[in-house]
């Protein structure tokens, strides 16, 4: 599933596509639902509206118009692109722009989401109101906050780090990479981490996510940027998906275990 770096990369690509702020000529629903039903009134809310920007909240994209925002989640296989040529059988939602271009939302496995939110009401929307702080916002995601919330928690630190109420956008891939750089074993009980470990984790969350964004995200299966190209951060993985391979630091074998229902990777020597 695309995580924060992938969604932010798509956001930046879409921002370039709509840089001249075109109006939406027509919305076409090619099916009534994806993961959930698409609101029937959605087309009439956006047709004729000018796109004024593209934002990201956690793993959600918000295509802002003058009065409302189109809300989308990529799910596991969703992508946005400028339509060129014929429709793909997995194109489910189209935004026809006044300049003649069409933005297409493609989602083969249909775990994505298309919805809308009133401008200024983002924090009360059912899909957004439970979300924690943004990891790239240094004033919102701090060591003190992370450490305070970790106290008396009995879950593994990797599960806590992936909890979207703890911090948004850190999924399975980046949680493993962050904990490796922080020298913290992913099975360690959250309530047992030290303030120093919390500080390293918070710092490395930002570093790893920023590096991944710079690399265009990680392409493991279906993920593509808005221009159709793959990301490149997968070439820099230190532990993720490298079970049995030598650690890039100590040369010991990378181990893997299912934690919280997700495959987790770490180095026993570097993360004792």
Catalytic residue numbers, as ranges: 2-3, 59, 262
Question: Which among 51, 65, 46, 56 has a CA at the least distance from the CA of 11?
Answer: 56
Q: Does residue 259 contact residue 159 with C-beta atoms inside 8 Å?
A: yes
Burial (CB count <10 Å: 0-12, 13-18, 19+), residue 164:
middle
3-state DSSP call for residue 232? coil
Burial (CB count <10 Å: 0-12, 13-18, 19+), residue 152:
exposed
3-state DSSP call for residue 151? coil
Check residue 88 and give left, alpha or beta (phi > 0: left; psi -120 to 50: alpha). beta
Burial (CB count <10 Å: 0-12, 13-18, 19+), residue 153:
middle
Instruction: Give the C-alpha separation, 121 to 125, whole Å.
Output: 6
3-state DSSP call for residue 117? strand
Instruction: Give the C-alpha separation, 212 to 227, whole Å.
Output: 17
Q: DSSP assignment, residue 37?
A: B
Burial (CB count <10 Å: 0-12, 13-18, 19+), residue 50:
middle
Q: DSSP assignment, residue 30?
A: S
Q: Does residue 92 contact residue 31 with C-beta atoms inside 8 Å?
A: yes
């Amino acid at each position: 599933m695309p995580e924060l770096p992938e969604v932010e990369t798509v956001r930046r690509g879409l921002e370039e596509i709509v840089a001249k702020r075109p109006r939406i000529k027509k919305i076409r629903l090619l099916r009534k639902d994806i993961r959930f039903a698409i609101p029937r009134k959605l087309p009439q809310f956006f047709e004729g509206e000018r796109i004024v920007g593209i934002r990201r909240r956690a793993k959600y994209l918000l295509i802002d118009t003058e009065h409302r925002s189109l809300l989308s989640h990529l799910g596991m296989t969703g992508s946005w692109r400028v339509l060129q040529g014929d429709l793909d059988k997995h194109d489910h939602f189209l935004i026809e722009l006044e300049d003649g271009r069409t933005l297409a939302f493609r989602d083969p496995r249909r775990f994505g989401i298309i919805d809308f939110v009133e401008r200024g009401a983002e924090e009360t929307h059912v899909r957004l109101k439970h979300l924690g702080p943004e990891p790239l916002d240094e004033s919102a995601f701090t060591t003190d906050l992370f450490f305070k919330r970790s106290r008396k928690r009995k879950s593994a630190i990797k599960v806590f780090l992936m909890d979207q109420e703890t911090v948004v956008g850190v999924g399975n891939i980046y949680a493993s990479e962050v904990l490796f750089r922080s020298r913290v074993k992913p099975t360690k009980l959250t309530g047992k981490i030290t303030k120093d470990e919390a500080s390293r984790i918070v710092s490395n969350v930002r570093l790893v996510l920023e590096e991944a964004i710079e690399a265009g995200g990680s392409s493991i299966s279906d993920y593509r940027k808005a221009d159709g190209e793959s990301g490149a951060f997968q070439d820099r993985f230190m532990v993720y998906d490298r079970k049995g391979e030598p650690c890039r630091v100590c040369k010991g074998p990378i181990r893997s275990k299912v934690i919280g229902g997700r495959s987790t990777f770490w180095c026993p020597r570097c993360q004792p």
